[in-house]
Amino acid sequence: MDFLWLFLLYMTFLLLCVSGFCFLRGRSSSSLDAVFHTVEQAFSFVLPTCLQRYIDSCFHTRSVAFVVLHLILDALVFAEYTWEVLDYSLELEMNWMLVFLPYTLISVNLYLFYKCCAVDPGTVTKQNEALCTQVYEYDDVIFHRGSKCPTCHLLKPARSKHCGVCGSCVQRFDHHCVWVNNCIGAMNIRYFLLYLLSLTLTAVSLAVVITGFLLQVVLLSHMMTAAYVDSEGHEEIAGIVFIIQHLFLTFPRIVFTLGFLVILILLLGGYTCFLWYLSITNQTTNEWYKARRWQSSTPGSPKGYSRGILTNMREIFQPHTRYRKQR
C-alpha cells in the first residue's frame, strides 16, 4: 500500500500545480481575489523576496514569463510523447493517423497561440476613439454614454475596459491573459476561442493515444489474468490496483504525463466551454462578471443582447473593421 500513498501524493501535487496555473490565468479579471491572496500569503513564506517581486511584476506589467512557461510545458509533453510513446505505439501497430494527430493539432495550436500574442486586441487610441464608440450601443447600465477613461483620457466605448497591464483601453474587452501576454478583445477573441479549442483537442488526442498504448500493454502482457505471490506466500490474482502500480513503476513518465493531461483536459475543457458559451450568448467575461455583481445588489438585471447564435458568432469572427482601417 505504500506505493498507493506515493501515487496519491503524486496526483495531489499534480492537481495543485495545474489548478494553480489555471487560477492564475484568469487572475486579473476574476472574483477569486480572496483565494489568490491566501495563496500569495502561503507562498510568501517559502519564496525568496526577489522571486516574489518578479512573479508579482509578471502580473502587473507585460512580461513574456508565462509565454515561455507555456512553450516549455508544450515542449516537455511533446518530448515525452515523441521519445517514449511514439515508438512503442507504432510497434504495437496502433493506427498511425491517430498517433500523428497530436502533431497536426499542436501545429495549428501554435499558430493560433502566435496570433493571440501578436494581434492587436483592439486598442482604443486618439485616432480611432470616435469610431470605436459607434460600434456598440451604450446600455446605460454597465456602460454609460460620455464617460471617459481616467487614465487614457479618451472616451470609453461601450463594452470596453481599461487594462492596467497593457496600459490602454481595449474594445470589447474580455480579459487580460498572462499566458499570451496580451489582452483578449474584439480583434483577437476569435483566435483565442480557436486556440482554446485546439489546445483542448491536442490534450485529448494525446491522452487517447497514451491510454490506448497502456491498454495494449496490459492486454498483451496478460496482466489481467496474472497472479503474484504475496509476502506471506499466498498466490493472488492481480487486481486493478496491482496493474496501476505495475504501469506506474514500468512507465513512470508516461503515466505522469497522462495524469497531467487528464487534469488539464478537465480544467481547460471547462474553461473552453465557458468562454464559447459566453461568445454564443454575446457576452464578454468582463460583462458576465459585472452582470453577476449587478444582480446581487439590485433586483432585475441588465438585459441580454443576444441576437441568435449565428449573428453573435459572425460578429466575433468578422469583427467591425471600421475602426481598424483608420488607425
CB of 206 vs ligand NAG, minimal distance in Å: 36
Q: Which does 136 bind (CB under 5 to 8 A by kind): Zn ion, ligand NAG, none?
A: ligand NAG
Q: Which is nearer to ligand NAG, 148 or 307 (CB)?
A: 307
- Residue least distant from ligand NAG (Cβ): 305
Q: Which does 149 bind (CB under 5 to 8 A by kind): Zn ion, ligand NAG, none?
A: Zn ion
CB of 175 vs Zn ion, minimal distance in Å: 8
Q: Which is nearer to ligand NAG, 89 or 283 (CB)?
A: 283
Q: Is 165 in the site for Zn ion (CB under 5 A)?
A: yes
Question: Which three cell numbers, joined as nine digits, stand for 214?
Answer: 497502456
Q: Which is nearer to ligand NAG, 185 or 259 (CB)?
A: 185
Tell me if residue 177 is catalytic: yes
Q: Which does 36 bind (CB under 5 to 8 A by kind): ligand NAG, Zn ion, none?
A: none
Are the beta carbons of 288 and 244 closer than 8 angstroms?
Answer: no
Q: What residue type is assigned to position 33 of the chain?
A: D
Residues 112-151 touching Zn ion, rule: CB under 5 A, are 149, 151
Reading phi first (left if > 0) and then psi (alpha if -120 to 50, else beta), residue 25 is in: alpha
The residues that touch ligand NAG, with contacts defined as CB under 6 A, are 136-137, 159, 282, 305-307, 311-312, 315
Q: Is 254 in the site for Zn ion (CB under 5 A)?
A: no
Q: Which does 91 bind (CB under 5 to 8 A by kind): ligand NAG, Zn ion, none?
A: none
Q: Which does 264 bind (CB under 5 to 8 A by kind): Zn ion, ligand NAG, none?
A: none
Q: Which is nearer to ligand NAG, 87 or 137 (CB)?
A: 137
CB of 300 vs ligand NAG, minimal distance in Å: 17
Q: Which of 117, 163, 177, 183 is catalytic?
A: 177
Per the DSSP assignment, residues forming a β-bridge with 168 are 163
Question: Which three cell numbers, joined as nine digits, stand for 259?
Answer: 495524469
- CA-based nearest residue to 288, from 300, 297, 275, 298: 275
d(Cα 171, Cα 178) in Å, to the nearest integer?
A: 18
CB of 187 vs Zn ion, minimal distance in Å: 13
CB of 291 vs Zn ion, minimal distance in Å: 21
The widest CA-to-CA distance across the chain, in whole angstroms, is 84
Angle at 80 between CA 270 and CA 257, to 5 degrees: 40
Residue-wise DSSP of 240-277 = HHHHHHHHHHHSHHHHHHHHHHHHHHHHHHHHHHHHHH
d(Cα 77, Cα 204) in Å, to the nearest integer?
A: 13
Q: Which is nearer to ligand NAG, 205 or 279 (CB)?
A: 279
Chosen residue from 58, 105, 116, 169 binding Zn ion by CB under 5 A:
169
Q: Which does 312 bind (CB under 5 to 8 A by kind): ligand NAG, Zn ion, none?
A: ligand NAG
CB of 327 vs ligand NAG, minimal distance in Å: 22
Question: Which three cell numbers, joined as nine digits, stand for 47?
Answer: 519564496
Active site (catalytic) residues: 177
Interface with Zn ion (CB under 5 A): 149, 151-152, 162-163, 165-166, 169, 176, 183
